[in-house]
Amino acid sequence: MLTKEQQEVVNIDFKDILLVNAYAGTGKTSTLIEFCKKRKDKKILYLAYNNSMIKEAEKKFKMLPNVSIKTIHSLAYNVFGSSNKERLGNLTSKDIQEYFNDDNALYNASSTLSLLKDFCNSGDSITAFCQKLLSEKIEIKNKRLDKAYLAPKLKEIWNKIIAKNSKITYPHDFYLKEWQLSKPKLDYDFILVDEAQDINECIIDIVLAQEAKKVFIGDTYQSIYAFRGAVDSLTKLSKLENSITLFLTQSFRCPLSVANIANFYLLALGAKKPFIGTKKELQSNTQGIAILARNNATLFDYAINSLDKKIAWVGGIDSYNFSDLLDIQNLLFKKPDFIKNSFLKKFSDIDELLDYCDETQEIEWRGKLMIVFKYINLDIPKLIKELRDLSVPPKEADF
């Protein structure tokens, strides 16, 4: 049984853009399924945020052959990514430092890399982005940047990266950007964009350029990727004359007690609608503890101080790259032949890595360096082995 709000989303007839602001647990997916069922004669593209969402959506939409389920990156990969798969990876300042022949080469390379990421998140061409950069229309946190010098460098390096037979590392967001700039056309009647509060201007531009009707669905107040260039498309697109905004506010998951607390903050944030909880109070016997940290180095530090506990590592302990600590130790002890990480192989000694972290404000590597210095006398390989031995399935873990 759908709520009145869900029925309104399912039955609405709109010309171009439908925005659905859906609070937590309000039946977003079930609403979209019914939306697609009502339009069985239409070709529908459901754009999921990541591969885990793809797997979940494929199960739920499997009875709807008119619905194609993709990530936006998978569409771009088929056109630009697959032909560059040998060089896909994480672009670093070291990869482009050679293009700066000045005393501040590493700093300028780091600044340019940051601008490249901003450009890839934008809906602009490289020429338009550089013009905005020079005309102060793009807000730059670092006021030290010599924009007159870096703007042409940015354009030069971007063209080198996308050049045929280029050997420069090619991040996944770069082939998405190339695809956006190629102005792709998608043959669908409707395009559904899930988690719309966490997409960037590049994705927004791709979707808006399509002739299909567009549905952006998400929760403005669950936006968590602004630090990666995401914008809340629900708020941004609501300002367009050809957009309609609907809401899903009745939660099937959160009890009234939780909703009342949430509403205190939603009111302070200027929410247009209150969050409505279920009448059934939350029943839970869960006693587990979850540890969240800004980076993996902090998790390592916490785990080492909890060797009397059994730990479940979400995604498996190998996904936390603790082997990087061994490579940093080998760099410190001048044993380059034992370094496995391709990025760390680019540094001649530990001082160069320290300089890199200072210039780029690289939080992850700085954290790993501090961990190595902290535990250097305690046999880091042994500590990693102990953590591996103490790793257990979630049901058996203390945390």
Binding residues for ATP: 22-29
How far is C-alpha 292 from the geometric centre of its chain's CA atoms? 17
What does the DSSP 8-state code read for residue 386? H
Residues 208, 214 contacting (CB under 8 angstroms): yes
Residues 89 and 172: their CA atoms lie apart, in Å, by 7
3-state secondary structure of 206: helix
Angle at 92 between CA 88 and CA 95, to 5 degrees: 85
Sole residue written with tokens 């601008």: 115
Could you count the other beta carbons within 10 Å of the beta carbon of residue 122? 21
Q: Which two tokens stand for residue 53?
A: 């969402």
- Residues of the binding site: 22-29
Residues 209 and 298: their CA atoms lie apart, in Å, by 43
Residues 194 and 218: their CA atoms lie apart, in Å, by 6
H-run or E-run covering 134: helix 126-134
Beta carbons within 8 Å of 60's beta carbon, 6+ residues apart: 29, 33
